[in-house]
């Protein structure tokens, strides 16, 4: 498993939003969540836990193929050319959980959540 560390961790700590991509029979599908939501639950070294309100198509796609890619970015972190702006792509395996410790942690903060999207990080790549 890859760890969320270094510049990638800094990007997640400052990002406004996170895009979540899955693959389904109709092709790629993208949803997004707020960075504050992910940070509120807590970012672990190898796991991201995301509150889920809707994401029904994402759920259906994950039932067929549990691979996901997440993309986040912020201008609050210097990029590779010394200019403001850096991004991070996170690849891993995910599942929607409706019980257990990840779900309980999400529901304690977000009572509207119907599930927790738990992403086991396999790879991180810097962007920009």
Q: What is the pLDDT along the chain (128 residues), one digit of tens a residue?
A: 678 889 989 999 999 999 999 999 999 999 999 999 999 998 888 999 999 999 999 999 999 999 999 999 999 888 888 888 999 999 999 999 999 999 999 999 999 999 999 999 999 999 88
Closest CA to 70 of 116, 24, 111, 34: 34
pTM of the model: 0.92
Contact 44, 61 (CB under 8 A): no
The H or E element that residue 56 is part of is helix 56-64
């Amino acid at each position: 498993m890859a760890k969320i560390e270094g510049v990638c961790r800094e990007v997640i700590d400052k990002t406004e939003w996170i895009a979540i991509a899955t693959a389904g029979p109709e092709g790629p599908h993208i949803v997004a969540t707020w960075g504050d939501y992910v940070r509120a639950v807590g970012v672990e070294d190898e796991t991201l836990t995301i509150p889920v309100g809707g994401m029904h198509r994402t759920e259906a796609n994950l039932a067929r193929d549990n691979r996901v890619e997440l993309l986040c970015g912020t201008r609050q972190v210097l990029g590779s050319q010394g200019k403001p702006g850096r991004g991070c792509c996170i690849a891993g395996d995910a599942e929607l959980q409706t019980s257990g410790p990840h779900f309980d942690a999400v529901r304690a903060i977000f009572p509207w959540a119907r599930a927790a999207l738990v992403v086991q990080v396999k790879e991180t790549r810097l962007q920009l």
